[in-house]
Homo-oligomer: A and B are copies of this chain.
């Protein structure tokens, strides 16, 4: 009887020790949990654009989602359906009302969204801009292509294809910061470095394939000796390609376009478009979410100077030139 009691007592002590060991191990595990960069269950980050549904945003969203997965947080995408300033403001206000942990925003207009951005930041919701900037807003930073440099690269490429002389035209969108900067870089470079090239027309293609096609047809009618066209965004490039094909001018007129959607890549492959500029789209989404995560968790040291502009480093996601030579590697992306 006494022996049995001793055995039971030993068993109980053994279990208590085992339990203690487990508790210690669990405490260690909990400690590890607090280390590293990892979000809470209720953390949600939202990406907001205009003109939803284009392939271009999907590549950026993939980077945004990949970062969300790495940091164990939720992500959402909301876009205005149309190319419309008021609609994007409405979408942004609806997103702010739901108090997300952070917003990555591509601005349709350089200053029309500034007040709404201010409201969000005032309410403690960090905003970073990507792809198209609102340079006077108090958003924390801009992540995207250095579009002035991209415009300059487009100028060098087009100059190369037309042997550095002749009339050229630009089709762009007048009120969007990234397009404005691409045009600026293109114009400055042509004027300074290519005295025998003349920019004879700068027209609004409204970011639309059909509008751009008509615009390019009109330019080609007015300037039958036109040698080249720079289109500052992808839809315009496809429209321009169709225009030169219909007018049977695809051999005479060289086109430099922007971005790498499938239609553009196809036109490069068949020789209608000479070159397009690929942006670091995945990087834009990936680092936008990283920045927002750091801001939400207060991990970043902000400048002590309250008047400092762009409180976080701006990120230049770079460009690469896509031609027939390397076009195949861009289909997979």
Taking residues whose C-beta sits less than 8 angstroms from the other chain, chain A's interface range is 35 or more
A270 interfacial contact with B, CB 8 Å: no
Q: Scan residues 44-101 of chain A and give those whose CB is less than 8 A from a CB of chain B.
A: 63, 66, 70-72
Q: Across the interface, do A314 and B316 meet the contact criterion of CB distance under 8 Å?
A: yes
A36 to B299, CA, bound (A): 15
Chain B nearest CB from A68 CB (Å) reads 11
Which residues of A, 23-45, contact B by the 8 Å Cβ criterion? 23, 25-26, 29-30, 32-33, 35-39
Tell whether A315 is near chain B: CB-to-CB under 8 Å.
yes
A301 is contacted by which of B36, B282, B299, B322 (Cβ under 8 Å)? B282
Contact B318 A315, beta carbon cutoff 8 Å: no
Q: Which of B283, B304, B330 interacts with A313 by CB under 8 Å?
A: B283
Chain B residues near A312 (CB-CB < 8 A): 283
Instruction: Give the complex CA separation of A310 and B14 in angstroms.
Output: 60
Residue of B nearest to A4 (CB): B5
Closest to A11 in B: B12
CB-based contact A333/B310 at 8 Å? no
Q: Which residues of B contact A307 (CB under 8 A)?
A: 320, 326
- Residues of B close to A18: CB separation below 8 A: 19
Q: Interface of chain A, helix or strand or loop or mixed?
A: mixed
Q: Across the interface, which residues of B come within 8 angstroms of A33, CB to CB?
A: 29, 32-33
The answer on a CB contact under 8 Å between A329 and B305 is yes
- Given known A-B contacts A38-B35, A63-B301, A70-B299, A313 and B310 have beta carbons under 8 A apart: no
Q: Is the CB of A301 within 8 A of B286?
A: yes
Contacts A18-B19, A29-B26, A315-B315 known; A320 to B333 CB distance under 8 Å?
A: no
The residue in chain B whose Cβ has the minimal distance to the Cβ of A21 is B22
The residue that A303 contacts in the complex, of B23, B70, B72, B320, with Cβ under 8 A, is B320
| Contact of A314 with B318 at beta-carbon distance under 8 Å, contacts A37-B70, A290-B290 already known | yes
A12 to B19, CA, bound (A): 12
A274-314 interface with B by 8 A CB criterion:
278, 280, 282-283, 286-287, 290, 299-301, 303-305, 307-310, 312-314
Any B CB within 8 A of the CB of A317: yes
> What distance in Å separates the Cβ of A255 from its nearest Cβ neighbour in chain B?
20
Whether A26 pairs with B37 at a CB distance below 8 angstroms is no
Q: Is A313 in contact with B280, judged by CB distance below 8 angstroms? A: yes
